[in-house]
Amino acid sequence: MLEYLSREMFRFLAHLAHYLDHMITIKLRDAMQAHRRRTGERMTYAVLAKLTDISESTLRKIGGSLTHHTTLANIEKLCRALKVTPGSLLELIDDPPKPKRASKKKKRS
């Protein structure tokens, strides 16, 4: 029950942050680099995928996008594998960049 409430609370906070012009981002690349500095071991998406049972493609999306949403369970797996706290993995950004809209191409006459 507590795990369910935690997931719901995380989703609520993510939605609330969106409406308040804030965004919670996952600093996966920073955490992977910090792991290397701390341990001397290079952490790749492939290694992290094996440690967490999160697909490599999902890890690449998390690491390469400010706006990728993931579950609290995945956040926990990443924290355990990288030996970091959620506070060092997550960041609240004030005034996040607005999503780009697809531009309409003008027809040539």
Report domain extents, the chain.
27-94
pTM higher than 0.85, yes or no?
no
Q: Quote the pLDDT of residue 98.
A: 62
User: How confident is the model at residue 2, as a pLDDT?
Assistant: 44
Which pLDDT value is given to residue 66?
75
Using a pLDDT cut of 70, give the percent of the chain over it: 66
Q: Which residues contact 27 (CB under 8 A, 6 or more apart)?
A: 88, 89, 90, 91
Topology (CATH) of 27-94: 434 Repressor (Amino-terminal Domain) (1.10.260)
Place of tokens 């795990």: 3
What pLDDT score was predicted for residue 13?
66
The two structure tokens encoding residue 39 = 């341990």
Weakly modelled stretches of the chain, pLDDT under 70: 1-7, 9-22, 95-109
